[in-house]
Chain A
């Protein structure tokens, strides 16, 4: 089954404790991205990657890091989480820059206290 998976699905952590949210897709997609979704603000892109070793900032990259060492994986790293990073996070993937459909993961609900 074609899918995007994320782990963990739920995470409660404390300020400053480094964490990683994993993302994996099994569709051999080149393009992957991370979003956060907050009430009233909609979906905002954090980082994106056009292919292995090619990543760039989205609209709200501050406080986040990513890496793309393999085509299927695109982890999101929070080096020093803060309460304003409490949000619902989605990983997504699609085949290239052209207008192909983008598929989303199930989401990770992060709470930073």
Chain B
């Protein structure tokens, strides 16, 4: 069964304190791993898609990496506006096309 586990559930950082969020997954035939940012009460906002082990993508202070078993979202020198819940999802070979989401990591960055 396809599964996604994110850790930690919650993370508190001081502004400028870099860290990483983890997304461990098991999936039959990975077609894509996705990172989203979600602010309270709002729709998830697409950040990155990764397709194969070794791939990396960057956007401002965020960098996503992928191995065969997990993905990391590295946050470099975070700012308070980076505070949000970060969701990881995988798309496998299922013919339903369903994304499997993790529970998310809630990040709080204090000034």
Contact = CB atoms under 8 A, between A and B. Distances in A.
A105 B97 contact: no
B42 interface: yes
A interface residue count range (under 10 / 10 to 19 / 20 to 34 / 35 or more): 20 to 34
A88 B42 CA distance: 9
B49 A104 contact: no
Contacts, number: 54
Q: Do most interface residues of chain A lie in helix, strand or loop, or is the interface mixed?
A: strand
B104 to A, nearest CB: 7
Contact of B87 (A43, A50, A97, A109): A43
Contacts of B104: 42
A58 interface: yes
Contact of A88 (B41, B89, B97, B101): B41
A24 to B, nearest CB: 14
Interface in A62-111: 88, 90, 96-107, 109
B68 interface: no
Contacts of A96: 97
Contact of B99 (A50, A102, A109): A102
Contact of A102 (B34, B41, B95, B96): B34
A90 B42 CA distance: 9
A42 B41 contact: no
Contacts of A56: 96
B98 A45 contact: yes
Contacts of A101: 34, 46, 49
Contact of A48 (B32, B41, B97, B103): B97
Question: Can you list the 5 inter-chain pairs with the closest CB atoms, starting with the nearest?
Answer: A99-B32, A104-B43, A97-B97, A99-B31, A43-B101
